[in-house]
Amino acid sequence: MQNIDFINNLKIRASWGKLGNNATMRDGRIDNYAYQATYGITGYSLNGLQVPGLAPSMIANKNLTWESTTVSNLGVDVSFLRDRLFAEIDLYNKLTDGILTVPPIYLTLGMVDPPIRNTAEVLNKGIEILAGWRDKTGDFSYSVSGNIAFNKNMITKFKGKLIREWRDGEYYTNLGDVSDVDWFYYLRRLEDHIINEYYLLDVYKGDGTYFNSDGSVKIKGGPKDGMIRTQKDLEWIQAMTAAGYTFLPNENISKQGIWYGDLIYADNNGDGVYGNTYDYDFRNYSPVPKITFGAQISLKWKNFDMNMVFAGNAGYKLYWLERGYNFTNTRIGFQLGKMVENDHYYFNESNPSDPENNTTAKYPRLKLQYDDPQNIQPSTYWLYDASFVKLKNLSVGYTLPSSISKKLYTERLRIYFSAVNLFTITSFPGPDPEIGMHTNYPIMRQIAFGANITF
């Protein structure tokens, strides 16, 4: 860039590639003969006697091919002002097609495994940006940079489009035919949706009123946040039940069923049954972040140096309902989580002015029935924003002057303090959003003092 003074470097990058994958076994192993029919030992009746024989155990697919992944990248590297200001921008598009699946077959084909087929496609695309500034003034030098990536994945082809509609007075859906359930049953894979998208109930949200002017129950009334908190809330759900509406899973309105401090769920398909399987819906979120970002700061003044690395994720949510933390069903021998202990619903009906009453609590009432399903249904009530910023690494050091190092018979001696996973800024109530949805062993905070010695 000889004719442009303020631009020191400008590089445009582009790449394209295509890769194949022949890991065709269900457990990820390679099977070079998956396109063929396989046979297994079976029993057969011959002249009244049972004899061993062979029978097809999986249908062949002579058209089976490898999965293929096509990756396209476009990038720009640029620096300005004597390389003090620099940036990198990358766009990528990754299409994986011919993904190996095992679609179901008709029962009329008998007791034989369906063939492996190339039926699915997944698209990943995004943009990654890095920018920074570095400079030196006298004995002080510094470098500050930040990076951010916006990533999106989408299943573009799978088992077909989702249909949810009313037909001749009955509600119809083909969800079970066109989607797969992850090991966590509230995550699903469906065409035109992100991978492992949350599939959950909505907590009911009424308008805070209860009855019409003629005394009839108001269908869209009731509690605003889905929890039965007041006598008016309870009267509303009793009137709704009397009018023919059903609230699942417990149905009956009683202390052993649905009562003060319990959650109720929305009727999304309008069939009059609140919280049944038709009321689950997709949330446009998965446990995978849509945005990742970070920052790096390096400072040096004379013999002192400091380095910091920040990292974070955003644009994702975690479903978090864990025993010992925010689980409100009790069980002998299991500890009650402190967050539930301090803020669970309680209402003394015999003494409405009881100072122990807590009708504005965050968590539902405690229940003696450990397996009572009312408040632990997979719902948006337990879906939390998991965005976070974390100081991943901090180091502060001092390098002794060479005159002192030589007296200690060393070439160079640096004393330092370092810390890993020092703090996290997040609204997620669990131990650490970085470890995911469940209470796995937390990422440890480590603090160290040491010395780097060169002889």
d(CA 69, CA 78): 29
Tell me the domain boundaries of the chain.
1-157, 164-282
d(CA 81, CA 309): 25
pTM: 0.89
Which tens digit of pLDDT belongs to each residue from 2-32?
566 778 899 999 999 999 987 655 555 666 7
pLDDT of residue 55: 83
Q: Which amino acid is at 292?
A: T
Contact in structure between 123 and 151 (CB atoms under 8 Å) = no
d(CA 268, CA 270): 6
CB atoms within 10 A of CB 382: 21
Q: What is the pLDDT along the chain (455 residues), one digit of tens a residue?
A: 556 677 889 999 999 999 998 765 555 566 677 777 778 888 888 888 889 888 888 888 889 888 999 999 999 999 999 899 999 999 999 999 999 888 888 888 777 888 888 999 999 999 999 999 999 999 999 999 999 999 999 999 999 999 999 999 999 999 999 999 987 779 999 999 999 999 999 999 999 999 999 999 999 999 999 999 999 999 999 999 999 999 999 999 999 999 999 999 999 999 999 999 999 999 999 999 999 999 999 999 999 999 999 999 999 999 999 988 999 999 888 888 999 999 999 999 999 999 999 999 999 999 988 889 999 999 999 999 999 999 999 999 999 998 888 888 888 899 999 999 999 999 999 989 999 887 778 889 999 999 998 88
Length of the chain: 455
Half-sphere exposure for 168 (CA within 13 Å, toward CB): 0
Give the CA-trace dihedral at 371, 377, 378, 384, to 10 degrees: -100
d(CA 139, CA 400): 16
pLDDT of residue 26: 56
Contact in structure between 117 and 102 (CB atoms under 8 Å) = yes
The CA-CA-CA angle for residues 394, 422, 296, to 5°, reads 40
Which tens digit of pLDDT belongs to each residue from 94-146?
999 999 888 888 888 777 888 888 999 999 999 999 999 999 999 999 999 99
What is the C-alpha end-to-end distance of the chain, expressed in Å?
44
CB atoms within 10 A of CB 113: 15
Q: Which residue has the tokens 């945005």?
A: 291
SS3 of 66, please?
A: coil
pLDDT of residue 59: 87
Q: Which residue has the tokens 């249908």?
A: 59
Q: Which amino acid is at 264?
A: I
The CA-CA-CA angle for residues 168, 239, 359, to 5°, reads 120
